[in-house]
Homo-oligomer: A and B are copies of this chain.
Amino acid sequence: MEPPVTALSPRPRGRPPRPAAARDGTRARLVRRGIEVLTEKGFASTGIDEILRREGVPKGSFYHYFASKDDFGAAVIDGYADYFAAKLDRWLLEADRAPLDRLRDFVADARAGMARHGFRRGCLIGNLGQEMGATHDDFRRRLAAVFADWQARVAACLEAAKAAGELAPEADCDRLAAFFWIGWEGAILRAKLVRSARPVDLFADTFFAGLPRQST
């Protein structure tokens, strides 16, 4: 999926505007490149040197932008979370579409993005969760919070579907949204392994078919 387009962390106070802007620009470029590389290779396998080299940033200047590799990882997670939340909003708040179609549109867009990259990338948050959920407690909490945020956005869309009469009044939208993200991350993992959209389609078709509908 594509990198975000904006710098993410607040600019440090008290610096002259021009150098700070340049610094933030470089920092944002490193984060964008980090999203791309970490999504494909994970955190442990990614060398900071590779990121710096690919952005043409001198090797010694990393600590000008980040306190540590972990600090860089946290900035990458936050950057991806912001980018992805905006992407979800773009689809799930699209007032011209019926609520369930909005979620279908998001699925179709994400599927197309994965196909564009040959099903090699998957989801940065899922990847890092698998890799570091057990070992980095700070990252674990940060990643869990990202899923909670995405889940709330899908739950709101499902509530809109309920209000529009697409879902049964007794539908538990929070549970359904949790189920959606659990299955979605599993489907992306399998899509990467088999290099095909089949697991994503199978999951999405089954999910939508199983939603509790308004009885007519």
Residues of A within 8 A of B (CB): 40-42, 44-45, 120-122, 126-127, 129-131, 133-135, 140, 143-144, 147, 175, 178-179, 181-187, 189-190, 192-195, 199, 202-203, 206, 210
Contact = CB atoms under 8 A, between A and B. Distances in A.
A47 to B, nearest CB: 11
Nearest to A144: B193
Contacts of A133: 120, 122, 189, 192-193
B182 A203 contact: yes
Contacts of A127: 130-131
A184 to B, nearest CB: 7
A184 B129 CA distance: 15
Given A41-B134, A42-B44, A44-B42, A202 B186 contact: no
Contacts of A192: 129-130, 133-134, 140
B135 A189 contact: no
B135 A130 contact: no
A193 B40 contact: no
Given A44-B44, A130-B126, A202 B179 contact: yes
Given A179-B206, A186-B187, 20 more contacts: A42-B42, A42-B130, A120-B133, A129-B192, A129-B193, A130-B189, A131-B131, A143-B193, A144-B190, A144-B193, A144-B194, A147-B190, A175-B202, A182-B183, A184-B186, A185-B186, A185-B189, A186-B186, A186-B189, A189-B189
